[in-house]
C-alpha cells in the first residue's frame, strides 16, 4: 500500500486542473452557430441547378414553368414572400409541378444584409408565415436578396433551420435583353455542381418582362444537355448523398 496516498493526492490535483479546461471548452462550444452559405453544389457528377428569383410574376413564371415541364426539368424558385402573398395560386402551381419552392425573403430589401437581428428575423418570419399558409410548410433554403449576407443574418437563418444559398453562375438575365447573351453567359461559366442564377420576377417585387429569359431557357437546357449535364434542384445537388447515385 506504500505510495497510495501520494497517488490519491495527484489524482485530486489533476481533477482540479481539469475544471478550468472544461469551463473554457464549454465556452467555446456555446458560440452561436451560423447557417451554411453555399454557392455551389457537389461536384462529384455533372450536375447543375437552375434557380429563378424574385417571383412569382405572372404570366412569366407560368411560361418558365411550361418550358421546364416540357423538357422534364425540375428547378428551384426562390420566391419573395410579398409576391407569393399576392400570387398564391402560382406558388401552388410550382409546388404541384415538383419544383423546389424556397425563400427569397419577404421584402427583398437591400438593407437586410445590414439589419439587426430583430429586423432581419421579422422579415424572415413574415416570409415563412406566407409559405406556411400557402404550402403548409416552411422552406429550408434561403437566398439573401442581392446575394449579400452578414454574420447576423447567418446566425438567424441557422436558428430558424435555413441554409443560405448563393450562386456561382450568373445568367445576367436581370440586365440582359438579348437571349443569345443569356445563353452564352450560362454555357461559358457552367461547371459540375454549378448553381445558376436566373429570374422569373423583378427586384423588390417589380413586374418586369421576362421574355428574354423565356426565349433563352430552351437553348440553355439544350446546351447543358449537349455538354452532358443533368439538371437537378438545389436541394438535390447540395446533398452529399447525391454522390452515392449510381454512375457518379
- Give the model confidence (pLDDT) of 191-201 as tens digits: 999 999 999 99
User: What mean pLDDT do residues 45-50 have?
Assistant: 96
First-to-last C-alpha distance (Å) of the chain: 64
Q: Which CATH superfamily is domain 37-244 in?
A: Glycoside hydrolase/deacetylase (3.20.20.370)
Cβ neighbors of 35 (< 8 A, separation 6 or more) are: 142, 154, 155, 157, 158, 162, 163, 164
Domain boundaries, the chain: 37-244
* Residue 119 confidence class, pLDDT cut points 50, 70, 90: very high
> Among 54, 104, 184, 199, which one carries the catalytic annotation?
199
| 53 noted as active-site residue | yes
| 199 noted as active-site residue | yes
Contact 164, 142 (CB under 8 A): yes
Grid cell, residue 135, equals 404550402
Residue (of 52, 84, 51, 58) closest to 208 by Cα position? 58
Q: The pTM is what?
A: 0.85
User: What mean pLDDT do residues 169-176 have?
Assistant: 94
Which helix (H) or strand (E) element contains residue 26? helix 4-29
User: What mean pLDDT do residues 79-106 have?
Assistant: 97
At residue 19, the pLDDT reads: 37
pLDDT digits (tens, 9 = 90+) for 139-161: 999 999 999 999 999 999 999 99
* Residue 36 confidence class, pLDDT cut points 50, 70, 90: confident
- Across the chain, mean pLDDT equals 87
Amino acid at each position: 500500500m506504500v505510495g497510495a496516498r501520494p497517488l490519491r493526492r495527484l489524482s485530486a490535483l489533476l481533477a482540479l486542473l481539469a475544471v478550468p479546461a472544461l469551463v473554457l471548452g464549454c465556452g467555446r462550444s456555446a458560440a452561436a452557430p451560423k447557417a451554411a452559405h453555399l454557392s455551389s453544389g457537389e461536384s462529384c457528377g455533372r450536375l447543375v441547378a437552375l434557380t429563378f428569383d424574385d417571383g412569382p410574376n405572372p404570366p412569366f413564371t407560368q411560361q418558365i414553368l411550361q418550358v421546364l415541364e416540357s423538357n422534364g426539368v425540375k428547378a428551384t424558385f426562390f420566391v419573395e414572400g410579398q409576391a407569393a402573398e399576392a400570387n398564391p395560386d402560382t406558388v401552388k402551381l410550382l409546388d404541384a409541378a415538383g419544383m423546389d419552392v424556397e425563400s427569397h425573403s419577404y421584402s427583398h430589401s437591400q438593407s437586410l444584409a445590414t439589419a439587426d437581428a430583430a429586423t432581419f428575423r421579422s422579415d424572415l418570419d413574415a416570409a415563412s408565415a406566407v409559405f406556411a399558409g400557402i404550402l403548409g410548410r416552411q422552406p429550408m433554403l434561403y437566398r439573401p436578396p442581392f446575394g449579400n449576407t452578414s454574420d447576423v443574418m447567418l446566425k438567424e437563418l441557422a436558428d430558424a433551420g435555413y441554409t443560405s444559398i448563393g450562386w456561382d453562375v450568373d445568367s445576367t438575365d436581370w440586365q440582359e435583353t438579348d437571349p443569345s447573351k443569356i445563353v452564352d453567359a450560362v454555357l461559358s461559366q457552367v461547371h459540375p455542381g454549378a448553381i445558376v442564377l436566373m429570374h422569373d420576377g423583378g427586384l423588390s417585387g417589380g413586374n418586369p418582362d421576362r421574355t428574354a429569359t423565356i426565349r433563352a431557357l430552351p437553348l440553355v437546357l439544350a446546351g447543358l444537355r449537349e455538354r452532358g449535364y443533368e439538371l437537378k434542384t438545389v436541394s438535390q445537388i447540395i446533398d452529399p448523398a447525391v454522390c452515392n447515385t449510381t454512375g457518379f
